[in-house]
Amino acid sequence: MVKVVAGVIERDGKVLIVRRMKGDKLGNKWEFPGGKLESGETPEEALRRELREELDVETEVGAFICSSTYEYPHITVELLAYRVRLLSGEITLHVHDASAWVTPEGLDAFDFPAANQAIIGEIRKKGGEA
């Protein structure tokens, strides 16, 4: 099982989502930005590193939201989601081909991988304040 972290970045009642590039596993699906933990990293350290690498932003990792385990045909993942606050930098995509700021209610219009459904549920329960 691979541990993966995701950040729920909020701004003006909306959350940031990004779309995986077409050729990637789960390509063209939308997700909350993040990535795999490396050996010796805490989830919070991994999330800060991944957001810096993927989006060129510095962040503060906040409260844990939820975890979700899902077995895809090619991999089993445990997804750990956290609230994240942007500290500095402009969002620049390096491994995704699109981004969007979406209201919690608007998330249904996007195609997410199954592991993300628990995060979406938590965001909706708390009205965007995941």
CATH value at residue 65: 3.90.79.10
| 80 assigned to some structural domain | yes
Q: What is the pTM of this model?
A: 0.91
Domain count, the chain: 1
* Sequence-ordered list of residues with C-beta below 8 angstroms from that of 118, at least 6 positions apart, any chain: 66, 67, 68, 79, 81
pLDDT tier at 46 (50, 70, 90 boundaries)?
Answer: very high
What is the domain range of residue 79?
2-125
| 130 assigned to some structural domain | no
| 6 assigned to some structural domain | yes
pLDDT in tens, 54-79: 999 999 999 999 999 999 888 899 99
| 112 assigned to some structural domain | yes
